[in-house]
Structure 1
Amino acid sequence: MKLKIKRSVITLSLVVCSLIVNAQTYSSEAGLQTDNDSYLFQGSDRYYTDGLFLFYRHALATTNNAKLQNKVLGFEVGQKIFNPQTGNIPTATGVDRPFAGYLYAGASLNLLYKNESNLKLSVQTGVIGPAAKGEQAQKFVHDTFGFYSINGWKYQIQNAFQLNLSAEYNRLLYRNDEGFDVSGSAYANLGTGFTGAGVGPLFRLGKLGKLFNSVSTQSTAITKQNADKDHKGEFFIHFKPQFNYVAYDATIEGGLFSNKEPGSLEITAKPVRTIFSNQLGASYVTKRWVIDYTATFPTKVVNPQRYSQQWASITLMYRFN
């Protein structure tokens, strides 16, 4: 009897370990991302101060395509909130970065190739200005959690319709057997709100998934037919230095085609055209969950900006069929 019990315990343990280690394939995922400078635990509340995004992604079939390994259709809605050095600005002289909200809905198509390169095409439509409800969202958070009073949104960017297109390209450059790889990353934005481009390497170290089925390329959703049989989840740290060129930013300069209304207190500024940023974080992909924490440290985005800008992002996705 003791031998049977011991065998049963061993068998059950092996089954449990197998379920933990062997990653399952799921063609859909949904979740959210929250951005906030408070996630760096430095007590700051400035510049890009808050963001909230909801995502749904679904993997599509890649039948009769010899080069394509995965194809993911994505939908998202989101809001970004910007304020000056603090959310409490009693006079216009304290506005070293304009108040602005950006509210949008978007869709994307992510094409991921067997050679571990991918091209992600996205479109977003939305609004900046009071219609984006940035003031209301920030006041709700501060009132709910007992933070300081908000003052200064009367200086915010005026309403303007937004239509923005973007393309992102990634490609594996090097990988060794010790769990380290390097890939190249580039993006370009064109629209009434955001126009610019950026380029930089991505370094990863740990338990890595291939780039056609990885949190690094937003491709953890994949069909069973396209899944990598050796894929057993991910757990790695990542570092991404990046050079960015800003041709236009409506949250700083105001709407591309809008004119300042009579009596408006709107304060705009000129963006810094070249920005360097560093991203550092960790990613974890289990059977059902995708978890990521990333801290971002860019150089100043506006002249004169009194302090540096920094924030962290927390992403949580649930995978299903």
Structure 2
Amino acid sequence: MPAPARTRPPRVPTAALLLVFLFPAAAIAAPQCSSSRLSETPPAVNFRVDNDLFGGENQDQGYTNGAVITLVSPNLADYTDDPCLPRPARWINRYLERLHPGRFEQQNMVFSISQSLYTPTDYSRADLIPDDRPYAAILMASFGYNARSGDSLRTTQLQLGVIGPAALGKQVQRAVHHVFDGEDFRGWDNQLHNEPLLGIVHERMHRWGDSEGNAGGWGWDAIAHYGGALGNRATYVNTGLELRWGWRLPDDFGSTPLRPAGENTAPARERLSGWSWHVFATSDVRAVARDITLDGNTFRSSHSVDKRPLVGEVGYGMAVTHGRWKFALARYHGAREFEGQKERPVFGSFTISRML
């Protein structure tokens, strides 16, 4: 009897390895940036974890886990020659000039690496579940360009990544569940196939509120946004609003880490010292033409479900800042994303930010 064929472990393409290692290394390299500029607008690093277990019991499903590390540049004079950007970033920007927003009062750049995992509800089934969402994992790198004029901001992100076994979703989820004594999801052999991802995201935001009063005491603000995305990962248009109230509100464009320019990534006109805190409530509505985690692979036959064309979510949370550190905790409630979905998505998000 012939020996059973051995299953080859998924290989990570060279491009994926470059996304994971090259861009963070480039972003934290010590550029020739003046100490005065670094003191006025220091670079920052943000680390965010999303997990549906934060949403409560029996919530290990849908968008089940995500992790993002984001590196934020100081305010920049330009995107191709400013010494506050590391040399690899300046070199890349020369080929991406069409994405640059032009000259504004302030502008900066953001680099991020993220992994997102999506699973159906029943973890115990090893077969394909036709009426529930596909297993999917996404590994993504993005370059973000923010430009601010007063209380208005425009942000553009170029996203490059991969979906499928190369994103290592099965391995990461099992490792995390073994640490926390969770159950293994048995259906990862049915996940979406490997496919490169390319997309662009653009949003515009405007902030209202008493900025001068907020910096010295109690205050509130409101931040409206609209924009969209185009690519094989996702294609949609969206709009929404965030409301904040608290002690010494930051001079930024929101505390919602799920969207571009959230959580300490937009240029700031002033830097607060000491303690500050605020609570926030946010909403977002999207008209969706494509979502690869529901529609399935673009160029190959794969598992898919009938997505709903109009979806949205509301969230609420609290952010605390002291000195160079910021902590934010949020909880999100979403609309059902596809026909036959039993539970509405609920998940939590925790973010740690530090100015360098």
TM-score range, shorter chain: 0.7 to 0.9
Query: Are residues 1:183 and 2:223 paired?
Result: yes
Aligned equivalent of 2:240, options 200, 205, 216: 200
- Alpha-carbon deviation of 1:70? 2.8
Larger-Rg structure: 1
Change (3 A) 1:171 1:152: same
The one of 152, 160, 172 equivalent to 1:137 is 172
* Structure 1, 266-275 or 48-57: larger mean CA deviation: 266-275
The answer to which of 37-46 and 150-159 deviates more is 37-46
Identify the residue that residue 255 of structure 1 maps to in structure 2.
297
Question: What is residue 282 of structure 2 aligned with on the other side?
Answer: 240
Instruction: Report 1 or 2 for greater relative contact order, CA contacts < 8 Å, sequence distance ≥ 6.
Output: 1
The correspondence of residues 80-159 of structure 1 with structure 2, limited to 5 A, is: 80-93=116-129, 96-114=132-150, 116-159=151-194
1:187 offset after TM fit, Å? Answer: 2.5
Give, in whole Å, the separation in 1 of the partners of 2:122 and 2:326.
Answer: 33
When normalised by structure 1's length, the TM-score is: 0.81
- In the TM superposition, what whole-angstrom CA distance separates every residue of 1:260-297 from its partner, at most 9, and x where no partner exists? 2xxxxx42112111012101111122211121111111
| Counterparts in 2 of 1:220 and 1:84: CA distance versus 1, 3 Å | closer
C-alpha deviation, 1:122, in angstroms: 0.3
In the alignment, is the contact (CA less than 8 A) between 1:50 and 1:82 conserved in 2?
A: yes
- Number of positions where the alignment pairs a residue of Structure 1 with one of Structure 2: 284
1:76 equivalent in structure 2: 112
Q: Which residue of structure 1 aligns with residue 70 of structure 2?
A: 55
Mapped contact 2:198–2:231 kept (Cα < 8 A):
yes
User: Could you tell me which residue of structure 1 aligns to residue 45 of structure 2?
Assistant: 30
Give the Cα separation in 1 of the matches to 2:42 and 2:172: 33
What is the SS of the residue equivalent to 1:59? Answer: coil
Corresponding residue to 2:310 among 274, 283, 286: 274
Q: 1:297 to 1:215 in 2, by over 3 A?
A: closer
Q: Percent of pairs identical after alignment? A: 21
Kindly indicate whether the alpha-carbon contact (under 8 Å) linking 1:117 and 1:211 is maintained by their aligned counterparts in 2: no
- 1:307-318 to structure 2, matched below 5 A, reads 307-318=343-354
Instruction: Look up the match of 1:298.
Output: 334
8 Å Cα contact 2:59/2:347 also seen in 1: no
Query: Does the aligned pair in 1 maintain the 2:41–2:271 contact within 8 Å?
Result: no
Distance (Å, rounded) in 1 between the aligned partners of 2:296 and 2:278: 39
- Cα distance, 1:242 vs structure 2: 2.0
Q: Where does structure 2 lack aligned partners over 5 or more consecutive residues?
A: 1-38, 79-102
In 2 relative to 1, CA 95–148 (structure 1 residues): closer, same or farther, beyond 3 Å? farther
Residue 45 of structure 2 contacts residue 353 of structure 2 at CA under 8 Å; is this kept in 1? yes
Looking at structure 2, the residues matched to 112 and 197 of structure 1 have their Cα atoms a distance apart, in angstroms, of 22
**8 Å contact kept, 2:159–2:200:** yes
Which segments of 5 or more consecutive residues in structure 1 lack a partner in the other structure? Answer: 1-23, 261-265
Aligned to 2:251: 210
Please give the per-residue CA displacement for 1:30-80, whole angstroms capped at 9, x wherever unaligned: 1311000112333420100000111110123348xxx83432211011100
8 A contact 1:205–1:237 mirrored in 2? yes
Instruction: From the two aligned structures, give the one with the greater strand fraction.
Output: 1
Q: Give 1:211's aligned amino acid.
A: D
Report the residue type matching 1:151 in the other structure. Answer: R
**Equivalent residue of 2:73, what SS?**
strand
Task: Give the distance between the partners of 1:221 and 1:167, measured in 2 at CA.
Answer: 15
Q: RMSD of the TM alignment (CA)? A: 2.5
